[in-house]
Amino acid sequence: DTAVSQTPKYLVTQMGNDKSIKCEQNLGHDTMYWYKQDSKKFLKIMFSYNNKELIINETVPNRFSPKSPDKAHLNLHINSLELGDSAVYFCASSQGYGRGQPQHFGDGTRLSIL
Amino acid sequence: GDSVTQMEGPVTLSEEAFLTINCTYTATGYPSLFWYVQYPGEGLQLLLKATKADDKGSNKGFEATYRKETTSFHLEKGSVQVSDSAVYFCALSDILTGGGNKLTFGTGTQLKVEL
């Protein structure tokens, strides 16, 4: 059973398009995250939701909009895609947001902008 | 702000060699420290963690000790295997003033183990 699942695994699209990435976790966690991993493997947090409430919103362009319909899902919608958006996007979840809580990651969505 | 510095890779070792990957951090609060591992084409998996000074995290033969005095959390393994080939990330987690907990990652160190 996949704990944190993301779809699609690969996403190839043209510049200027709008796309969404979906994330679901079946761990019963109440906090979910989106991270971006660039071509040099550097990981940076983008957003975090706790019980459907936004609690972390890093400096991310307004073209990126997370949506959490319930605490098991956190989707990422991206408008007007740009070349610089090419990256691997990881969803993660944790039980609460205490500093010792480990985060569980999905396998990533590789976004390529043509 | 918080930051994590880890040694650049790739690190190439022969099977059964001793592994050390250095990690140091700066943090405004009292962070928890983690090592995550990423195998090719996969997401990150928690390898081990430590939540307070002098704690030792261990898993699958890997160990790391939280050293507050040197702000370090070096990863070690006594005898590596080919299956340990992956990218290893050091990370810290701290509570944010407005609520929430975010992981700050190092740049990752690629480990290649050869027969």
pLDDT, tens digit (0-9, with 9 covering 90-100), for A41-52: 899 999 998 888
* pLDDT tens digits for range B59-115: 999 999 999 999 999 999 999 999 999 999 999 998 766 566 788 999 999 999 999
For residue A37, give every residue at least 6 positions away whose Cβ sits within 8 Å of its Cβ, in sequence order, or none: A43, A44, A87, A88, A89, A90, A108
* pLDDT tens digits for range A25-76: 999 998 999 999 999 889 999 999 888 888 888 878 999 999 999 989 999 9
Q: Does A97 touch chain B (CB under 8 A)?
A: yes
CA–CA dist A42, B69 (Å, integer): 27
Residues facing B109 on adjacent strands: B88
Do the Cβ atoms of A43 and B105 come within 8 Å?
Answer: yes
Q: Does B89 touch chain A (CB under 8 A)?
A: yes
Do the Cβ atoms of A42 and B108 come within 8 Å?
Answer: yes
Pairing of strands B23-26, B56-59: unpaired
Window 16-45 of B, Cβ < 8 Å to A: 29-32, 34, 36, 38, 41-45
For the record, the structure tokens of A26 come out as 């079946």
Which chain B residues are Cβ-neighbours of A66 within 8 angstroms? none
CA–CA dist A49, A25 (Å, integer): 13
CB atoms within 10 A of CB B96: 15
pLDDT category, A1, cuts 50, 70, 90? Answer: low
Q: Does B3 touch chain A (CB under 8 A)?
A: no
Nearest to B44 by CA among A4, A17, A72: A4
Amino acid occupying residue B1: G
CB atoms within 10 A of CB B72: 17
